Structure 1
Amino acid sequence: MGLVRLVVIGFIVLTVIYFCLSLYSRAVRRAKLKAQWDDEGMTGDQDAFVTHGLEEYDGSLRRKLILGVYIVPVCFVAILIYVINFM
């Protein structure tokens, strides 16, 4: 029963962390795109430029690396359980 509780609570906590980190990373990328627009003195539709940049970001490696929020803690707990029980 304790393992089930650990898994459920851990999943909920990691999901909250994932969404917060994802939203923060997207906001930082949006700010960088707007700064790039201003620095380069581009003309045209800034919103379209930012939207296109965020679409590219959605398929980027950085976006996929945020999934490490789930992988790293689970591996750490699995290794910790193995070491405590079998070594």
Structure 2
Amino acid sequence: MFALLRFLLLGFVVLTVVYVAVSLYSRAERRRKLRRHWDERIGTGDRDAFVRKGLALYDRSLRRKLILGVYVIPMIVVCTIIYIVNYT
């Protein structure tokens, strides 16, 4: 039982680090794309306000929520493996 708790805690910590890294990378990429779009297409007005508005929309987007799959998919795989090993 203690080994399972230790495994789950370690897995949670690793998945949290992966989630933070993917989340920061995705947000930086979105910011880069918004700035590039501004430079190529718009070019007038307040660039920082455009980027802030774009990032606010990104925060509510489906893509942002899909990053939570970093937690869900490994848990499904581990539970499936445990079920197959123990009950089949």
Number of residue equivalences: 87
Instruction: Give the 5 Å matches for 1:53-64.
Output: 53-64=54-65
Give the corresponding residue for 2:36. Answer: 35
Q: Do structure 1's residue 25 and structure 2's residue 26 form an aligned pair?
A: yes
Could you tell me which residue of structure 2 aligns to residue 75 of structure 1? 76
| Counterpart for residue 44 of structure 1 | 45
1:17 maps to amino acid: V
Q: Distance in 2 between matches of 1:41 and 1:55?
A: 19
Cα deviation for residue 37 of structure 1 reads 0.2
**TM-score under structure 2 length normalisation:** 0.97
| TM, length-normalised to structure 1 | 0.98
Whole-Å separation in 2 of the counterparts to 1:41 and 1:56: 18
Unaligned runs of 5+ in 1: none
Percent identity (aligned): 55
Note the residue ranges of structure 2 that are not aligned, 5 or more in a row: none
Letter in 1 for 2:23: S
The CA deviation at 1:42 is: 2.5
Distance 1:47 1:84 in 2: 54
CA deviation vs aligned residue, 1:43-83 (integer Å, no higher than 9, x gap): 01100000000000000000000000000000100000000
Structure 1 CA distance, aligned partners of 2:13 and 2:22?
14
Q: Which piece of structure 1 moves more, 32-41 or 61-70?
A: 32-41
